[in-house]
Each structure stands twice: as C-alpha cells, then as structure tokens.
Structure 1
C-alpha cells in the first residue's frame, strides 16, 4: 500500500471515506427464512477475505479442534494487530511500523494455549491451509501475507500459497464481476480462466468434483441474534441476518461445512447477494456435499466499514475463544453440526471511564489507538474532532465516551 492508500485507509477506518457500492442482482436462490438445524457434518473448514481472512485465521487458531483447515485471501498472521487500530493499519496492512514477527506470534499462541484461551497449536500440524495474495493488491502488503504463511508452516500446516496472480484486493472467482487487477466493490474479481476456488477446495478436501452449472440448493436466511452472546448481534457488530447455502444432498446425507467470511465493505446490508452469488462456492457445494455458512458483520462505532473484529474495535478478547464474534460464529457451526453452544462471559471494557481525560502527544494518541492521523493532522477516533498537528510535541486531552469513541476534554 502506497502512502496515499494509507491516508485513504485511515480515513475509511474512521468513517471519513465513502465507497461507491452497488447492489448485486443475484442468481443465487432467493433466501428462505429459517433457522440453523443439525446436519451430518463430517468436517469443518473456514475461509475469508481481508478482515474475513484475519478472522478465519483467528477461528482456525483459537478453535483448531473444530476447524480442519483454512483458505485465506489477503490477510496476516494471528493477532498481528495486538489490539491497536494503528498497528492494524500501519503494520498489518501496510508495513510502515514494526510488527510482531511470526516467531513472536507463535510464542504468543503457545502462551495463550497454555492458559486455555485458545486450542493447542499442535492441532494445526498437518492441517491444509491455502493462501492467496494478488500481486496487484496494495491494500494488504505481501510481506504481511508472507508472515501468515510462515506462521502456519512453523506449526506444521500443509501450506499452498498463491502469490503470483496479478489480482487486486478481492475474492477471486471465475464468475467474479470485476476485472482481475481492481480493488473495488463488491471485491469479487475474475482473473481469466483461473479458478482459485477450485484450487482452494482441492487443497482443503483432497479432490473436488467439477462445479455445477446452476445451483439447486436452498439459501437459508437465519437470525444471528440466536447465536450471538446475550442474544444481541448488533452489540458485537454483526448483522441481524446470516445465510447458509444447503445443497439437496446435505438434507439427507453427510456433508462438509465451509464457513466463509466477507471482507470490509462486503457485508450483505451493503452489497446485497454479490458475494453469496459470485464467490463460486455454492456451485462447488452442490457437487461436493458442502454446506456454506455466510455469517455477516455490520457497522458500529469504531467499525464504519463493517469489518470483522481483528484489531479489537469491539472487544479486547477478539482473537480468543471467548471473543464475542468468535463465539457467535462457532455457535452457528455447532448449531449446524449438533454441538453445544458456547456462552462466554459478558463483554467488559478496560477503557478509562468517561470522566477520565488522557493527556498525551498526538503521536502517542495515534499509537495507542485513541486517535488517527490524516495529512499531518490528528483526529480523535470516533468523533473525528481535530486535535492539531500529528507529532510528538503537540499534546491533547481526550476522553472515551463509548468503545472506540473519543472526544476532547
């Protein structure tokens, strides 16, 4: 990502940038209202793009006893962001700031596993992992993706890494509506005759049958509140509706389960059925006995782009088994496979009370995730109030009024 892209990313991450997005006219079956019911699930996998890719890795690592493999488009290693927005933007998307090395993140994983907050990383050994980073992708730097490959390989996963396709920042599909090198809504690109979805599924499953020419299963629209901690999906930046594509063969026989997580600016409430229709997963689902679960994030204060929580905008527990979004997605998986739902502790916050002001340099505020920089100026996170020049000499006093929302004192 070049400097101008960082400015745009900083603005977008705090709600200052708008996207030109269109609603897809989808050929995917019309959704049928229903609930997630038990199927004969023989194996569970996870895939995702960008924030959904980071989330896919978090799920695979934290719940390695549940997920048998992962397919990830354009993301970095486990907990790269370290609960800081600036680290996420400037170290884990771009590489202007130093980030934790794969070895350091591997040790962090082992430490958390010893405490029981994630599953033992030994479970990752032998798991199939398919990674993709387009050479025209300047949203997430290739070095960050390289770290993810190293992280997985060091834990013994069987990694296939495609980093030579001239693709932009997107999910790559043979029926994608966008040109290969673009990074625009709905972030589903077509790169000639290549079929990365087939390559991903082949690596994860061992072999796949050709995709169906037309889908014939059901698209179930379900209430995500049922699976969210406290019964409130909106409180953890998840939409009311989630979707599951169920082939006819899975109604009566064994099936695999693929959890697919969208990227920022790619949730259903913004782009409609575009990802569900064009990801080219349902076509393979019909011929390979695979249910596809499409959970949905949405916007909230501190998350105007509808990203999955991979830097801590909603909870400091975001990469752990008790992370609210992690819990919700795993509850969906367990509903489909007959497991027992997880009930984590009520979300708490360790941020200062609203009456407590924090005085620091504007540079320190941005490093701590209380503010962001744009064109040499500093702005309070959430409220976007101007704080002055971005440097170590100019100081500001700000206080937090709600999660990721700071105002001047």
Structure 2
C-alpha cells in the first residue's frame, strides 16, 4: 500500500468517525491531484456518454487531445430538443439524418463567441469512432455523420472509424458482458449494456489516442477511488449528476510517476444506481490504464424521474434537460467534469 493510498484511507476513516453516517454508508473523499503531464488528456464515451465525450472534446479542444466515441452523432445534434435527440440523433429515417452542416455552423458560432475553444485546435486531435453493425438504438447512419463532422476539422490520418464489429448497442469488450449481439432491455435490471465481442474498444481507442501501449495488466495494481462530486457541482443530484464519482488510479500514478488522464463517460442506464460497479470496473479501461500510467476518471450521472430535471435513464445532458448551455464550456455538467480533470492534473511537477 502506498503512502498516498494510506493517507486517503485514513482521511476517509476520519470522515466516517466524525460524522457517524448510517451503517453501510461509505463516505466519498476529496479527489486527489497527481503528477499529470500537460497535453495528455483524452475522453471517450458510449451512447449519451459518446455525445458528452464529443461535446467535451470540441468545447475544450485546446486541452483535450483526442476522443474515442461509440454509438453517437455529431456536435449539438439534438439542437436542444429531446424529440430531436430521440429521432434524428438515434433512429432517423432517410429523410431526417443528423445535419452535419448545422453542427459545423453551431461550432463556428460558439467559437466566435468564445463559448468553446477555436475548432482549429481539433486539427491535430486523434479520434476513434465505433458503430456496431447490430446497433438498433443508435443507427450507423448517425455515427457516419459524426465521422463526417470530425473529417471537417481533424487531419484525416488521425481518424479511425470501426464499423465492422457485430455489436448491439453496448460498450464493447473482449472479456466481459453479454453476447456481442445482445440487444439490452432497459426495463431488465440485469441488462448492463456491456457486451463481450472479443474486441476491446477501450484498449483500441486508448492505443489510437496515445500511440503504442504496453499490454494490459492481467492483475490490477491500482485502486478504484470513490470521490465527492459535489465539490465540482453543488447539489449535483438536482442536476442529474450522482453525489459520488470514481477514478481508477494505477499504483505508479499513486507513487508520483508522471501520468495522463482519460475521462470515460458511461451511457444511459449505466449509472451506478442501476448497474453498480459494472462500468467503472468492467468496461475495459482499467487493465490498459494500469500498465500505461493513465488515470481514468469516471464521472457519474443519476436518474431523475421528476421535473424540472427529467432524465429517467440517467443520460448525460446532450439535449438540454438541465441546462440550455449544455454543449458549451460553461454548461453545468461540462464545467463540473472539466474542474475534475483540472483537480486530477494539479499535482504536476
């Protein structure tokens, strides 16, 4: 056990002893800072998390060097409208696919008003995209439009588009989850939307974003850290963010090695209240992060069944259910996650 880990555990114990929480309650602790080199931050996500990863990448392109996106469409696809999100941006007809031209115009407009970074920063980014051939929740044509959007801004040599994996709508792994073509049922609590396709999306996207990586760990040496998200967004539950977030910290990073940060956004119905630790332990990132000095930040949503924030599936805000500025740097969830990234990276020396 490292000294940092021991300090963290003692701090959490002190909180528990002082506040005397109910039995079974694990008090989240303050998110630590680590020796994170500038220029090594990347993001990824599946479904609503894919939309969140895209808008985070675009909005903060001066500091986010790349994105890996599964089953999502182009920037500002929903146009602030839930009906558009559930049609054009997921299961469109031939008459209403996502409008790439509109996405580009909004990008340019937001940048001109300094509400996001200049899109010229995107040129040197690295982008990895996946659309499962059996995905009936976000049609491949939607993901095609994401590919077109990125080709407008990013050096074409830096983009990889994987569209041959026979996956249903899911986080695609090489060793965990349902059968590859299993179409999850949101009403079935046993469906976790993680499918074993003998293909590691997490590993492939990380290797595309960072270059050649060491082989993944067979046994993890790091720690899953539980942290308090209310430090980054007051009263997070009222904005459909969970009170607790998670991070995977490799032992080398805990010991002070120079590391990098990757943010992994879960999809709808993958929040801990529904699937427990399945995403942040089994989506496939941690074993690659462990051997390659990558801290994986897992921010978390929570479902909300009642207005004014109606988000019954625990999705990320990519259509404006909580905030009309959802795709801008000052969007509540965007700003909260950016502040988490800044905290993790604040220990560079």
Between the aligned partners of 2:242 and 2:128, the Cα distance in structure 1 is: 28
Matched, 1:152 2:150: yes
Which residues of 2 match residues 215-294 of structure 1 at below 5 A? 215-228=220-233, 231-251=234-254, 252-294=256-298
* Stretches (4+) displaced over 4 A: none
Indicate the residue corresponding to 1:58 in structure 2: 55
**CA displacement, residues 340-360 of structure 1 (integer Å, 9 cap, x when unaligned):** xxxxxxxxxxxxxxxxxxxxx
**CA displacement, residues 316-335 of structure 1 (integer Å, 9 cap, x when unaligned):** 11111111000111110011
**CA displacement, residues 78-125 of structure 1 (integer Å, 9 cap, x when unaligned):** 000000111011100011362552122112101110101111000100
Between the aligned partners of 1:32 and 1:183, the Cα distance in structure 2 is: 35
Indicate the residue corresponding to 1:47 in structure 2: 44
Between the aligned partners of 1:83 and 1:101, the Cα distance in structure 2 is: 14
- Calculate the aligned-residue CA RMSD, in Å: 1.4
**CA displacement, residues 377-404 of structure 1 (integer Å, 9 cap, x when unaligned):** xxxxxxxxxxxxxxxxxxxxxxxxxxxx
Between the aligned partners of 1:324 and 1:242, the Cα distance in structure 2 is: 16
**CA displacement, residues 99-155 of structure 1 (integer Å, 9 cap, x when unaligned):** 552122112101110101111000100211000010000100111100101111110
Instruction: Name which of 192, 198, 208 aligns with 1:186.
Output: 192
Indicate the residue corresponding to 2:141 in structure 1: 143
Which residues of 2 match residues 31-46 of structure 1 at below 5 A? 33-42=28-37, 43-46=40-43
**CA displacement, residues 151-196 of structure 1 (integer Å, 9 cap, x when unaligned):** 111102421000111001001111222100113221111113x333
Instruction: Name which of 325, 329, 337 aligns with 1:317.
Output: 325
Indicate the residue corresponding to 1:207 in structure 2: 212
Between the aligned partners of 1:195 and 1:238, the Cα distance in structure 2 is: 27
Indicate the residue corresponding to 2:75 in structure 1: 78
Matched, 1:197 2:202: yes
Indicate the residue corresponding to 1:331 in structure 2: 339
Indicate the residue corresponding to 2:110 in structure 1: 112
Indicate the residue corresponding to 2:187 in structure 1: none
Between Structure 1 and Structure 2, the one with more helix by share is 2
Q: Which runs of 5+ in 1 are unaligned?
A: 1-30, 340-409
Between the aligned partners of 1:292 and 1:32, the Cα distance in structure 2 is: 20
Between the aligned partners of 1:288 and 1:37, the Cα distance in structure 2 is: 19
Aligned with 1:48: secondary structure?
strand
Aligned with 2:64: secondary structure?
coil
Between the aligned partners of 1:110 and 1:320, the Cα distance in structure 2 is: 12
Aligned with 1:69: secondary structure?
strand
Structure 1 position 217, deviation (Å) = 0.7
**Contact 2:36–2:259 (Cα < 8 Å) also in 1:** yes
**Contact 2:89–2:98 (Cα < 8 Å) also in 1:** no
**Contact 2:73–2:98 (Cα < 8 Å) also in 1:** no
Structure 1 position 70, deviation (Å) = 0.4
**Contact 1:166–1:180 (Cα < 8 Å) also in 2:** yes
* TM-score, length-scaled by structure 2: 0.85
Structure 1 position 37, deviation (Å) = 1.7
Aligned with 1:125: secondary structure?
helix
Structure 1 position 33, deviation (Å) = 4.0
Between the aligned partners of 1:136 and 1:321, the Cα distance in structure 2 is: 34
Between the aligned partners of 1:33 and 1:139, the Cα distance in structure 2 is: 34
Q: Which runs of 5+ in 2 are unaligned?
A: 1-25, 185-190
The count of residues paired between Structure 1 and Structure 2 equals: 306
Q: Which structure ranks higher in relative contact order (CA pairs < 8 Å, sequence separation ≥ 6)?
A: 2
* TM-score, length-scaled by structure 1: 0.73
Between the aligned partners of 2:106 and 2:268, the Cα distance in structure 1 is: 26
**CA displacement, residues 197-220 of structure 1 (integer Å, 9 cap, x when unaligned):** 222111100111110001121111
Between the aligned partners of 2:240 and 2:101, the Cα distance in structure 1 is: 31
**Contact 1:87–1:99 (Cα < 8 Å) also in 2:** no
Greater Rg, structure 1 or structure 2?
A: 1
